[in-house]
Structure 1
Amino acid sequence: MTAIHVADDERVRVALADRSYDILIGRDLLAEAGAHVAALGARTIGVVTDENVAAIHLPAVAASLRRHGLTVETVIVPAGEKSKSFETLGFVVDGLIAARVERGDVVLALGGGVVGDLAGFAAAILRRGVRCVQAPTSLLAQVDSSVGGKTGINSPRGKNLIGAFHQPSLVLADTSALDTLPPREFRAGYAEVAKYGLIDDEAFFGWLEANHAEVFAGGPARTRAIATSCRAKAGVVARDEHEHGDRALLNLGHTFGHALEAEVAYDGTRLIHGEGVAIGMAMAFRFSAALGLAAPADARRVEAHLAAVGLPTSPKAVPGPLGGPEALFRHMQQDKKVERGRLTFILAHGVGQSFVSRDVEAAQVMAFLESELA
């Protein structure tokens, strides 16, 4: 991964030939959104957001867009994972059509990962493709879901099973927006930051172990963590846009985490995405240790850091009842990475040494799930 450096504002380039775009990272970018979006040459901006974000950020964003001569239309959806549904997707697309958002215009996704995935998918299918600007307001969205073009909605049978690759034209990661996040949401987003260190950058993980308090407090350390994460993802996306190779590494912890989210029916009061990822990453390292691939000390190191920032590390930390190993395994069989019926896991030889494995036996998975849920 690229070297880390600190700056007040950052610009990270996602290099995809004629579809390349910038991730801008810094404070007060939402208040300056009009200048950045106007440069794209659109006339009408269809802002898709949720009820919570609309109350906090929509007035400033809309005012900035209008100051630069843009027509602003808004579609507001309920907050929460359950908005990633066919019903809400239809509502968003119909709202954008009613607002006369044309092919040369822009859909602006203003919100966290749910809004980014939903609005990005709506842009991908609206008039067979409309440009999208991602304006992520959560840490998770700024370091992960807003970058790379993965858009989609959930099926009752699994998470993100319906969607399309649709790269944004621009990402505006306003770090000041994170000041309004509830602590639980910020912690959940931090799981995705830690993920980049666990994949292939032990030095970054070590820096997070030493500096996580400053990342949570804000300032240069937070900007550094976000920029490093975005550079890591931008590099992977440039090499493997459609996840045929090492982009699958970005799913570290997600096979287990998505199964847990499906098991609680995407009930955010019990488990939100980043918490599922944290549990999933700890499980991936424990599974790697159980298979003799990694040292138990590495699994303990991962658990210790996630626990230090207040993240759960075990499925037994999920409030309320869970199904047994068979139920979780059924959810895992619907994972997007399943190939010819075989599960794909992201496992590790150690911190910063993750790899893709397609040869794990079902019996090994079941035995591990039984031990985790015992």
Structure 2
Amino acid sequence: MNKLLIKTSTHPYFIYTGEDVRFSLKELLPKTYSSFFIITDDHVSKLYLDDIRNNLPNDQRVFHSIVQHGEQSKSMETYHELLTDALTYGLDRQSLIIALGGGVVGDVAGFVAATYMRGIDYIQVPTTILAHDSSVGGKVAINHELGKNLIGSFYPPKAVIYDTSTLQTLNPREVRSGYAELVKEALLGDEQFFNDLTEINLASLSREHLEKHLQKGIHIKAGIVESDEKEAGVRKYLNLGHTLGHALEAELGYGKLTHGEAVAIGTLFALKVSEILFSSNLPYDDLYKWLKRNDYPLLLEEVKTSALIAKMKSDKKVINDKVQMVLLKQTGNPTVAEINDHDLQVFLESFLRELVDK
């Protein structure tokens, strides 16, 4: 088992990673709790809910709620239902919420924890590759029909307990989704890591490679979060690919693309804009070929640029009605640039045409 301490201004917490660490859950809890509330989804519950229930203190009350899998559960309705469940179960300020699942479960369960009785403890128990990113750093949120993650908070967990053996049950689409965030982290922090990733065929991914990539991605993310917990500076760089990615999710309808699939397209777009603005020698072609080789959906023929720009401008990172994009001057050298509407439309139309013509 690997153990990494995250030092933030709110509180420090450990990330535990390794095979079968869910069976050591009781020993890894940060303190004693009066009761436990497991929030999971209808896919993960069939696989791992009993394991979590059976590895909690048997003298404590344990409750659970199951939400529908997918981005549609990051909604005001689901949030309200979970708060109602917490009240019905009689959770108090010494209760612990356990987010068992992927990024959606982690986000909505974390937001419930952040707001229930003005905030109670929660831990993340990720079961997807994508959640290596979302479970670290304390961003919790739900979506609004006008944009993604517009209702939320910075509220770090008390621990992240990441059982990598649960990743063996992921389908190819979930693997693709998770690796998009690893690619993002590599572009921000480590050119050699990016090169290693783009040599991998996800269809024949070994457990050894996956473990190595996850550890590297978590270290990059952790280093950024430690230096800027609440996104006042360098943490903004973790939004690389997310400006267009979030707009695609909202415009196409949550669930049409996975979060990672949308971020992959958004990252490709960010590299293209970076090349134009900075005359940079960036691995746009290398990334495109890798995405294509690994069956990422890249054709967006029916999407209107005006609709995407409207969604991009409703993003929480917009300042004075100007889109702020994370770009790269070089691999490992990110920056934030303000893009006006005209340039954004030109860049986006050219990019979408290029995807169709390639």
Q: Give the match for residue 364 of structure 1.
A: 343
Preserved contact between residue 129 and residue 178 of structure 2 (Cα < 8 Å): yes
The separation in 2 between residues aligned to 1:308 and 1:70, in whole angstroms, is 49
Residues 248-291 of structure 1: per-residue CA shift (max 9 Å, x gap):
1101100011111011121x2x3110000000001111122233
The separation in 2 between residues aligned to 1:313 and 1:145, in whole angstroms, is 23
In structure 2, relative to structure 1, the CA distance for the partners of 1:17 and 1:367 (3 Å cut) is closer
Structure 2 residue identity aligned to 1:352: G
Q: Using the TM superposition, give the Cα deviation of residue 221 of structure 1 relative to its aligned residue in structure 2, in angstroms.
A: 2.0
Aligned mate of 1:350, from 330, 336, 339 = 330
Q: Give the match for residue 259 of structure 2.
A: 273
Residues 295-348 of structure 1: per-residue CA shift (max 9 Å, x gap):
3x62112212333333234534xxxx32x1110000000111111211110111
Q: Give the match for residue 47 of structure 1.
A: 38
In structure 2, relative to structure 1, the CA distance for the partners of 1:331 and 1:214 (3 Å cut) is closer
The separation in 2 between residues aligned to 1:165 and 1:215, in whole angstroms, is 35
Q: Using the TM superposition, give the Cα deviation of residue 17 of structure 1 relative to its aligned residue in structure 2, in angstroms.
A: 5.0
The separation in 2 between residues aligned to 1:48 and 1:342, in whole angstroms, is 37
2:149 alignment partner, SS class? strand
Aligned mate of 1:307, from 289, 292, 295 = 292
TM-score, normalization by structure 2: 0.94
Q: Give the match for residue 176 of structure 2.
A: 187
1:339 alignment partner, SS class? coil
- Bigger drift between 166-175 and 10-19 goes to 10-19
The separation in 2 between residues aligned to 1:220 and 1:71, in whole angstroms, is 38
TM-score, normalization by structure 1: 0.90
Preserved contact between residue 287 and residue 368 of structure 1 (Cα < 8 Å): yes
Residues 150-206 of structure 1: per-residue CA shift (max 9 Å, x gap):
001000100000001110000011111101111111111110011111112112112
Q: Give the match for residue 36 of structure 1.
A: 28
1:221-370 pair list within 5 angstroms? 221-266=209-254, 268=255, 270-295=256-281, 298-313=283-298, 315-316=300-301, 321-322=302-303, 324-358=304-338, 360-370=339-349
The separation in 1 between residues aligned to 2:134 and 2:320, in whole angstroms, is 27
The separation in 2 between residues aligned to 1:153 and 1:180, in whole angstroms, is 26
For the pair 1:151 / 2:130, whether they are aligned, the reply is: no
Residues 29-52 of structure 1: per-residue CA shift (max 9 Å, x gap):
222222222x42112111001111
Residues 83-128 of structure 1: per-residue CA shift (max 9 Å, x gap):
1111100001110111112111210000110000000000000010
The separation in 1 between residues aligned to 2:204 and 2:51, in whole angstroms, is 25
Residues 139-160 of structure 1: per-residue CA shift (max 9 Å, x gap):
0012x11010000100010000
Q: Using the TM superposition, give the Cα deviation of residue 352 of structure 1 relative to its aligned residue in structure 2, in angstroms.
A: 2.7
Structure 1 residue identity aligned to 2:121: R
1:31 alignment partner, SS class? helix
Structure 1 residue identity aligned to 2:2: E
Tell me, which stretches of 5 or more residues in structure 1 are unaligned?
A: 1-8
Residues 185-236 of structure 1: per-residue CA shift (max 9 Å, x gap):
11111100111111121121122233x2489634332111111111111111
1:56-75 pair list within 5 angstroms? 56-67=47-58, 69-75=59-65
In structure 2, relative to structure 1, the CA distance for the partners of 1:313 and 1:13 (3 Å cut) is farther
1:93-104 pair list within 5 angstroms? 93-104=83-94
1:315 alignment partner, SS class? coil
Tell me, which stretches of 5 or more residues in structure 2 are unaligned?
A: 354-358
Preserved contact between residue 326 and residue 366 of structure 1 (Cα < 8 Å): yes
Preserved contact between residue 121 and residue 163 of structure 1 (Cα < 8 Å): yes
The separation in 2 between residues aligned to 1:53 and 1:328, in whole angstroms, is 32
Structure 2 residue identity aligned to 1:195: K
1:119 alignment partner, SS class? helix
1:65 alignment partner, SS class? coil
The separation in 2 between residues aligned to 1:216 and 1:17, in whole angstroms, is 40
Q: Give the match for residue 82 of structure 1.
A: 72
Q: Give the match for residue 161 of structure 1.
A: 150
The separation in 2 between residues aligned to 1:198 and 1:51, in whole angstroms, is 34
The separation in 2 between residues aligned to 1:341 and 1:214, in whole angstroms, is 39
The alignment of Structure 1 onto Structure 2 pairs a total of residues equal to 353
